[in-house]
Amino acid sequence: METVFTPWQSLGGGMLIGAASILLMATLGRIMGATGVLAGLFSPANASDFGWRALVLLGMVSGPVVVWTVTGQMPQVQVPVSSTMLVIGGFIVGIGVTFGSGCTSGHGVCGMARLSPRSIAATLTFMLTTGLTVYVIRHVLGG
């Protein structure tokens, strides 16, 4: 399987994520960790807490609609694994998020920007584990 690197799209996406994180911290004093935002949506402290979380999540999933509106076609998405593997991966990520007290967006984007030692350690662990997993699946198991 070939991986296609898109530097300009990646840079643009990273800048949007960074800007959104800064905006959320500057306006509400909240960290934009995706799992924390989602978890808080199911048990909000009050109506305004629910509102900002719903808007952030809506923004996260509305990208394809924006692409469709601008280009007239939905973006093409290819997932090179089975649905079973996606479900297993989702459970593994859920376990990691629970034990790591956050996800890559919370630790990697927001925590590292605040120079949090815990977030730096968590992000290094995420990245090393990801690299090792990709290596094993592609080169050892031949997937």
Q: Could you state, in order of their start, the residue ranges of all structural domains in the chain? A: 7-140
Q: What is the mean pLDDT of residues 88-114?
A: 85
Least confident interval from 52-56, 80-84, 117-121, 127-131:
80-84
Q: Which residue has the tokens 């997937």?
A: 143
Model's pTM, two decimal places?
0.74
CA–CA distance, 7 with 12 (Å, rounded to integer): 9
Q: What are phi and psi of 12, to 5 degrees?
A: -60, -45
